[in-house]
Copies of this chain bind each other. A is one copy, B any other.
Amino acid sequence: MSDRNIYLKTVPVPEAVRLAKEALDRDELIRSELVPTHRAPGRVTAAPIYAKCSSPTFHSAAMDGIAVYSRKTFTAREGQAVELRLGTDYVPVNTGNALPEGTDAVIMIENVVQIDEHTVSIEAPAFPWQHVRKIGEDIVATEMLLPQNHTITPFDVGALLSAGIYDIKVWEKVQMTFIPTGDEILPFRDRPVPCPGEVIESNSQVFSALARGLAVEYQCTLPVRDREELLMKAIDLALDESHIVVVGAGSSAGSKDFTRRVFEKMGTVLTHGIAIMPGKPTLLAIAKGKLLVGAPGYPVSAVVCFEDVLTPIISWLSGKPAPKKGQIDVRLARRTPSKPGMEEVIRLAIGEVNDGYVGVPLARGAGMITTLTKAQGIARVPADSEGIEQGESVKVELFSPRESLSRVLMHVGSHDNTIDLLANALMGMGEQLKLVSTHAGSMGGLTALKDGNALFAGCHLFDPESGDFNFPFLEKYLPGEKVAVINLAIRHQGLIIAKGNPKKINGVKDLPREDVIFINRQRGAGTRILLDHHLKEGGINPRSIRGYDREEYTHMAVAANVLTGAADCGLGIHAAAKALDLGFAPLARERYDLIIPERHLEDPRIKTLLNLISSEGIKERINSLGGYETTLTGQFMEAGMGLGD
């Protein structure tokens, strides 16, 4: 382990960007080029553009009608018509026609009475230049149409062509090459099925999509094995045809992370380590006047490296200001501690609830790309902060325009596969809705409703005393809040076990066995409460169960543990066992209800949801998952209804 790297002093992100800009000679690096105007949208002008011809280039009729000499019309009044002769007094014109020499006004066809083939009469005078588009009205030849460093819009193309400009000088596109590295990575083009220790390479394609969004010309090499000389050769080739060369992974401090050593041999390292999490293992260097980047291997770290460090550098090279993400203020739904000394990027599920925006922090792991696919935006915890409190207002940078948040249907609560089914169906409705679902367990869902952090909550809390579902808990945890309780499905819970049940696990009585490893759900999950109820009934001490303390947040995660042998069993829904083709030992039937505060019932998004779950087709789709009953689906529940049997 003697060949480990140590990070250089980590620097704040703006400092890293500044170092790179200072080290690059933009004028030397980026040339201008001539492109046809109609291919220029999105390109950036390298010089101001002046009109070559005027628009219109002639006095032209702005209406269909007749062109006239206005002075011959001045006496026309209502009841005191003036007659005009074809040719000498008027000429018919269509919109866009050039005015005949000497005419200086157009009378709309609607105001003209045809007397005979050669004569018309009018009952109102024409003002000089009425309904005439004068020469240069839109564009005057030689005027400056666009300044330098302007990004060409669709409208600009219209103005440029109208002004007779068929080519424009723009900055060449920034060229970027990505070099994936690592013995463990599998090229996605081979369509691999990964074995333990292997990872499908995907960062190159996330960078590709992000780079193309900035109009970068992007290419990606084949993956390079973990050998210094191979990497040096690949970088050398890439430098010849790129402004920026990114080496994927290998920039951290592990024994195989030799990117820094390679950069040091080939050029000058600017910084190793930036003061942000995720994203810290970012490495910047200069070689042959080009930028070398060591991008972190973890997908979220890589994205932060791209968005925070590379985007401003690429924009600057492109002649553009760095794009600013839309910002809104969001109320944080959960306390989010953070280690001081480093800025931290928190991904948030964001929705509009009660006329305000709510943000639910997603998992923090830098390896979890799905935290980015599920998030609507990010918040930043500054380096000098120890975190953000629940309910605190934070600035959020949005991934899509804030207007799209009105289409987000915010769910916090228990996880069930039918929720995914709803999510898909809602995207097929006339007014598409995006179901943003945070799995916080049934109790977490009730808390979210209480705090105003969700539009509805999926909930399946069993009360042994009354034998009823959810209502006893609503009285206790949402006192005074009027809610509607609508059943989504009755579902079958049981022990998810390996296929064929090799360990002969048939009920909770088998859980304390020496040879059985259990995987549990998190505190507050209805499924865990159900387990504890059955353990209590069976007189089983939870402490006697191996793995009782290991928690997962979803049924699918429990099933995945069983599938891979990390656990022998866990409590979960039949649908999860079925999805992964596992065994299932039934334990209980329970009601999975949607809890909706009455004040949300008029929200158009909730109305769409209710339309969906009361539609006929939905029952069929739920039943096809297996392990569900739909006898109550879509019905409003009342206290004491139990399973309605």
Enumerate chain A interface residues (CB-CB to B < 8 A): 1, 4, 37-38, 41, 48, 53-60, 62, 64, 92, 94-98, 109, 114, 128-129, 133-150, 153-159, 161-162, 164, 166, 182, 184, 188, 191-203, 205-206, 208-210, 212-213, 252-256, 297-299, 303, 320-321, 323-327, 365, 367-370, 372-373, 399, 401-404, 407, 420, 423-424, 426-428, 431-432, 435, 549-550, 554, 556-557, 559-561, 563-564, 566, 579-580
CB-based contact A158/B196 at 8 Å: no
In angstroms, Cα B94 to Cα A196, docked, is 14
Of the residues B56, B194, B402, B566, contact of A199 by C-beta under 8 Å: B56
Given contacts A64-B4, A424-B147, contact A96 B199 (CB under 8 A): yes
CB-based contact A252/B142 at 8 Å: no
Extra inter-chain contacts (10) besides given A1-B109, A156-B373, A158-B299, CB under 8 Å: A4-B109, A38-B208, A56-B367, A57-B195, A135-B566, A138-B369, A158-B206, A159-B369, A164-B193, A324-B404
Of the residues B53, B96, B133, B197, contact of A365 by C-beta under 8 Å: B133
CB-based contact A149/B427 at 8 Å: yes
Which residue of chain B has its CB nearest to the CB of A419? Answer: B144
CB-based contact A64/B254 at 8 Å: yes
In angstroms, Cα B527 to Cα A122, docked, is 38
CB-based contact A62/B367 at 8 Å: yes
Least CB distance from A490 to B in Å reads: 21
Oligomeric state, in copies: 2
Given contacts A143-B556, A255-B64, A557-B136, contact A209 B157 (CB under 8 A): yes
Of the residues B161, B325, B372, B435, contact of A200 by C-beta under 8 Å: B161
Interface hub of A200, A303, A327 (most chain B Cβ within 10 A):
A200
In angstroms, Cα B137 to Cα A156, docked, is 48
CB-based contact B561/A135 at 8 Å: yes
Least CB distance from A643 to B in Å reads: 27
Q: Across the interface, which residues of B come within 8 angstroms of A162, CB to CB?
A: 199-200, 202, 299, 369
Which residue of chain B has its CB nearest to the CB of A366? Answer: B62
Given contacts A147-B424, A155-B373, A580-B142, contact A133 B196 (CB under 8 A): no
Given contacts A138-B369, A158-B372, A369-B138, contact A95 B196 (CB under 8 A): no
Given contacts A153-B209, A206-B155, A432-B149, contact A370 B139 (CB under 8 A): yes
CB-based contact A38/B157 at 8 Å: no
CB-based contact B254/A321 at 8 Å: no
Q: Across the interface, which residues of B come within 8 angstroms of A133, CB to CB?
A: 365, 367
Q: Across the interface, which residues of B come within 8 angstroms of A139, CB to CB?
A: 370
Q: Across the interface, which residues of B come within 8 angstroms of A373, CB to CB?
A: 145-146, 153, 155-156, 158-159
CB-based contact A95/B202 at 8 Å: no
CB-based contact B1/A157 at 8 Å: no
CB-based contact A209/B62 at 8 Å: no
Interface hub of A37, A206, A423 (most chain B Cβ within 10 A):
A206
CB-based contact B161/A205 at 8 Å: yes
CB-based contact A135/B564 at 8 Å: yes
CB-based contact A550/B209 at 8 Å: no
CB-based contact A423/B197 at 8 Å: no
In angstroms, Cα B565 to Cα A59, docked, is 11
Least CB distance from A571 to B in Å reads: 16
Q: Across the interface, which residues of B come within 8 angstroms of A256, CB to CB?
A: 94
CB-based contact A54/B560 at 8 Å: yes
Q: Across the interface, which residues of B come within 8 angstroms of A37, CB to CB?
A: 188, 205
Q: Across the interface, which residues of B come within 8 angstroms of A1, CB to CB?
A: 92, 109, 114
**Can you list 15 residue pairs at the A/B interface with Cβ under 8 Å?**
A57-B194, A62-B365, A94-B256, A98-B197, A109-B253, A137-B367, A138-B369, A143-B420, A145-B370, A150-B427, A159-B370, A162-B200, A162-B299, A325-B403, A401-B401
Nearest 7 A/B pairs, CB to CB: A154-B209, A136-B560, A58-B196, A161-B202, A324-B403, A155-B372, A98-B197
Q: Across the interface, which residues of B come within 8 angstroms of A98, CB to CB?
A: 196-197
CB-based contact A157/B205 at 8 Å: yes
Of the residues B64, B94, B401, B550, contact of A129 by C-beta under 8 Å: B550
Least CB distance from A589 to B in Å reads: 23
In angstroms, Cα B130 to Cα A550, docked, is 11
In angstroms, Cα B130 to Cα A476, docked, is 36
Least CB distance from A392 to B in Å reads: 23
Q: Across the interface, which residues of B come within 8 angstroms of A325, CB to CB?
A: 403
Least CB distance from A420 to B in Å reads: 4
In angstroms, Cα B96 to Cα A194, docked, is 13
In angstroms, Cα B139 to Cα A432, docked, is 25
CB-based contact B423/A144 at 8 Å: yes
Q: Across the interface, which residues of B come within 8 angstroms of A109, CB to CB?
A: 1, 4, 253
CB-based contact A141/B580 at 8 Å: yes
In angstroms, Cα B166 to Cα A566, docked, is 28
Q: Across the interface, which residues of B come within 8 angstroms of A550, CB to CB?
A: 128-129
Q: Across the interface, which residues of B come within 8 angstroms of A150, CB to CB?
A: 427
Least CB distance from A367 to B in Å reads: 5
Given contacts A94-B255, A129-B550, A150-B427, contact A368 B155 (CB under 8 A): no
In angstroms, Cα B431 to Cα A324, docked, is 13
Least CB distance from A378 to B in Å reads: 11
Which residue of chain B has its CB nearest to the CB of A302? Answer: B158
